[in-house]
Structure 1
């Protein structure tokens, strides 16, 4: 999918993130795709909340890599700040990149 004018992918639209939604980003590190974070910030109209935030959120972006530990435990932590209709997106490195996780391991 390409945004109008050929400006590149619209990650926030693909993830169903829109204006005025509160988004928390967990597991961010230097190997994460900053284009995704920047696009989501632009779409929701504010900064992404970090690990220490204690607000109710609409969306959690959970960056996950092979070797990060127990995904179930991390998902349980990610559920805590979610609003009633909140969603969690688990994002992993692309195939062939260090830390890539097979989709079957998440499903």
Structure 2
């Protein structure tokens, strides 16, 4: 399904650029294949799965109510992340099965050492952009 106004630009909305290495976590049958395909098109490569051990620029984390402890999952997602990398937490929109309250992300991010910077509307999914604070990322080079 193509959103109104022309071809899908989910990759653009998420800031995905050519040659970005993108890892996907939390995929399930309800994950949106249009978002996944558009991210692959934007990056020019396939999404890495949970078992990849490369440094990644972007993590797409599909997250639903009942998936467990978001802080633990975010800590796992940080491990392969480049210092200036981004984690996008994708959650079902309000009224959809598995909807997650925005407060859960807002409370979990700082506990995991991340800052929420923006959000994006992706069809039936909402995406929250999480980054590592600059001071913390700079300290990892030692």
TM-score for both structures, normalised by structure 1: 0.92
Deviation at 1:79, TM superposition (A): 0.2
2:5 is aligned with 1:33: no
CA distance in 2, matches of 1:56, 1:6: 33
State the match for 1:6 in structure 2. 6
User: Does the residue aligned with 1:55 lie in a helix, a strand or coil?
Assistant: coil
Once the two structures are superposed, the pairs formed by residues 34-73 of structure 1 within 5 Å of their partners are: 34-73=33-72
Deviation at 1:78, TM superposition (A): 0.2
Deviations 1:53-85 (A, max 9, x none): 000000000000000000000000000000111
State the match for 2:102 in structure 1. 103
CA distance in 2, matches of 1:98, 1:6: 28
User: Does the residue aligned with 1:19 lie in a helix, a strand or coil?
Assistant: coil
Q: Which has the higher contact order (CA 8 A, sep 6+)?
A: 1
Give the paired residue count: 104
**Is the contact made by 1:56 and 1:82 (CA closer than 8 Å) also made in structure 2?**
yes
- Please tell me the root mean square deviation across aligned C-alpha atoms, in Å: 1.5
Structure 2 residue runs of 5 or longer lacking an equivalent are 107-142
Higher mean C-alpha deviation, range 72-81 or range 94-103: 94-103
Structure that is richer in strand per residue: 2
